[in-house]
Amino acid sequence: MKIAKHLIIIVLLLFGVGCYESNNITGSDDVDEYSGAEFTITEKVVSSSRLTAKGTVKNTSNETYYGRWYVEGDFYTDGTYTFKLGGDNYLITYSLAPNESTGWELIFQSSLYEESDYPDFAVKNLRAYHD
């Protein structure tokens, strides 16, 4: 009986760990978006285990973006934007004054997909926010 209880606990723990993908929540309404964020995607990289998008964000507003803010975006299989793979966010720990730019990097990886199957992946819904 004791072994069965331990086995059940182990199975439940393994199941919980197996379902865990990421602690990033993308697309939440429970954040404050910065206005005036102008995004440029400068590079997209495909590997067998991940999709990476790199770029810049420029603060075109009259207000400073203060430290601990994020760049966020969604990954799609291609430029038709009909099948969303998931999303990511990138933490920036320094301020960005009006008319300043900085770089960002978003990474998508999942046990559900073979990332190399999506050489034409696209990124959309980019935003800058703080919580």
pTM comes to 0.79
User: What pLDDT score does 1 carry?
Assistant: 54
Collapse the DSSP code of 6 into the 3-class scheme (helix H, G, I; strand E, B; otherwise coil) and give the result: helix
Residue type, 66: Y
Look over the chain and give the mean of its residue pLDDT values, rounded to a whole number.
86
Strand order in the sheet with 37-46: 37-46, 51-59, 101-108
pLDDT tens readout for residues 29-65: 778 999 999 999 999 999 999 999 999 999 999 999 9
Q: Which residue in the block uniquely carries the two structure tokens 């819904």?
A: 125
Q: Within 13 Å of residue 43, how many CA atoms lie on the same side as its CB?
A: 9
- What is the Cα 109 distance to its own chain's centre? 10
Determine how many CB atoms are found less than 10 A away from the CB of residue 98: 13
32: tokens are 């404050």
The three-state DSSP-derived secondary structure of 95-128 is CECCCCEEEEEEEECCCCCCHHHCCCCEEEEEEE
